[in-house]
């Protein structure tokens, strides 16, 4: 004589499906994000995951990234600063500032790093977003050089330099000589 035991597992199945859908959504957000993103182990510094934009931007395959550490994408001169930054990681969002990174082809790019500590696959890790600011840095450098040239011309002349625009007042660029 047997007694069948029935259990309603509907709620458990719904919870499992919700978890699976949530994991897929987060994976999609990570993989398809338009910014290069990666996760690295804060102890070994090894890349644990990289998104498609990081692969595209840096030129390494996913397999290559996963056999590298975050030191491998830094100029050697920047590694002491990197190690100091890692030594001072704390919880919450870290706006780590501007850094130089090396792409697979050897070219340098300027990036602005924002990161956050998390646990990933059972390891203490950091999620990193790398915003490419190479064009902005180049524009700022060109502006700085232009300003230096302009100041040298204005400050180096004994001639009176005036600027007159219609419907405005006359201004003297180098008033020290007026």
Asked if residues 60 and 105 have their Cβ atoms less than 8 Å apart, the reply is no
What residues form DSSP beta bridges with 46? 69
Q: What is the pLDDT of residue 176?
A: 52
Give the strand order in the sheet containing 37-41. Answer: 47-50, 37-41, 123-132, 108-120, 93-102
Residue with tokens 């390891």: 123
pLDDT band for position 178 (cuts 50, 70, 90): very low
> CA–CA separation, 138 vs 172, rounded Å?
31
Tokens 């994000």, located at residue: 33
> What is the DSSP code (8-state) at residue 156?
T
82-124 pLDDT per residue, tens: 999 999 888 788 999 999 999 999 999 999 999 999 999 999 9
């Amino acid at each position: 004589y047997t007694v069948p035991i029935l259990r309603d597992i509907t709620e458990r199945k719904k919870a499992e499906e919700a978890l699976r859908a949530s994991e897929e959504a987060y994976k999609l957000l990570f993989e398809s994000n338009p910014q290069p993103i990666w996760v690295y182990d804060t102890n070994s510094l090894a890349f644990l995951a990289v998104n498609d934009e990081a692969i595209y931007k840096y030129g390494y395959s996913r397999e290559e990234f996963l056999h590298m550490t975050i030191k491998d994408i830094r100029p050697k001169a920047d590694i002491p600063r990197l190690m100091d930054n890692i030594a001072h990681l704390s919880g919450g969002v870290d706006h780590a500032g501007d850094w130089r990174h090396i792409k697979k082809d050897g070219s340098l790019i300027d990036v602005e790093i924002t990161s956050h500590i998390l646990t990933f696959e059972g390891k203490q890790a950091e999620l990193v977003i790398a915003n490419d600011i190479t064009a902005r840095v180049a524009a700022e450098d060109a502006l700085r050089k232009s300003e230096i040239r302009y100041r040298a011309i204005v400050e180096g002349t004994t001639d009176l330099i005036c600027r007159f625009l219609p419907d405005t007042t006359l201004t003297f660029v180098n008033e020290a000589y007026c």
